[in-house]
Structures are given as C-alpha cells and as structure tokens.
Amino acid sequence: MRVYLGSDHAGYELKMHLVNHLTKQGHDVVDVGPHVYDPEDDYPAFCLHTGAKVVADEGSLGVVIGGSGNGEQIAANKIDGVRAALAWRVEIAQLARQHNDANVISIGAREHTLDEATSFVDAFLATPFSGNPRHARRIAQLSEYESDRKLPELPAS
C-alpha cells in the first residue's frame, strides 16, 4: 500500500521512524517532508500536501504528525476528500477506518512513545472500512457537502 507521510519539526523523529518501519513492512512510502529537521518549520504545508496526495492517489493512505496532532488533523481536513482522524489509542485508529473510512491518521508525537504511535499507524493501515450502510451513508453526506457546499437539511425535532 502507498502511504504518504508529512510532519513538522515536532513530528520529524516519529516520521523518520515510520518511514523506516513501514518500508520494512513492504509499504510504498512517500515522505512528503520535511526532509531535514528545522525547529522553525510550520505544519500546514506538509499536511495539506500529504492530504492532497492521498486524495489524488486512490487506495493510498496518509499519516500526518505534529506535537499534538490537532493542527495537523485540521490542516489535512481542509483538503476535499480527506477524512483525517486524530488517533490516541489503537481502538480509535481502527474505528477511524472501520466507521469513517478515514484516509489520513494524525498523531501527536509529543503525546506518545514511538512504540505507541507506531501501533496506531499499524492498526490504521491494517483495518479496512466496514462498508456498513449507515457509515457509508454518513460519508456520502460529507462528500456531497464537499462537492456542492450546500448544508444539509436538519432533521425535524
């Protein structure tokens, strides 16, 4: 599977670890950057490009990494077609794929050990979307909004 990885300085060490780990597992890894450690870099460009590459490459998945993972998730989700989920436990990473068909996982490198963060990514990559009709329906609603920017009607109370 092709996996795109992007980070900022806070996620640089974890990103480099994951590039090595995922390559050894046989994944086609694309390092979106940064390619050198720069304590002054900013996450948006790396996360936006990671998300855009995932959307343009059907069947691929992405990983964005920062200090908390929050900003990185927000940035990736600005790209139409990205469904980025912040993972803080293996079960959350799995649910992001099973229920939301998330195509990008966001990790807070300052919040987890290398082993914990790696387990989140491994679980994310190994878990398929459930295909459950109610989950598919919800994802379709989000996709429709991305295409027409029309807010859906609220259900009657």
Catalytically active residues, by annotation: 72, 99
Are 88 and 119 contacting, i.e. CB atoms less than 8 angstroms apart? Answer: no
- Nearest alpha carbon to residue 15 among 25, 26, 3: 3
Are 84 and 55 contacting, i.e. CB atoms less than 8 angstroms apart? Answer: no
Are 79 and 62 contacting, i.e. CB atoms less than 8 angstroms apart? Answer: no
Q: Which DSSP category does 68 fall into?
A: S
Long-range CB contacts (within 8 A, 24+) of 89-93: 89/120, 90/119, 90/120, 90/123, 92/120, 93/120, 93/121, 93/123, 93/124, 93/127
At position 7, the amino acid (one-letter code) is S
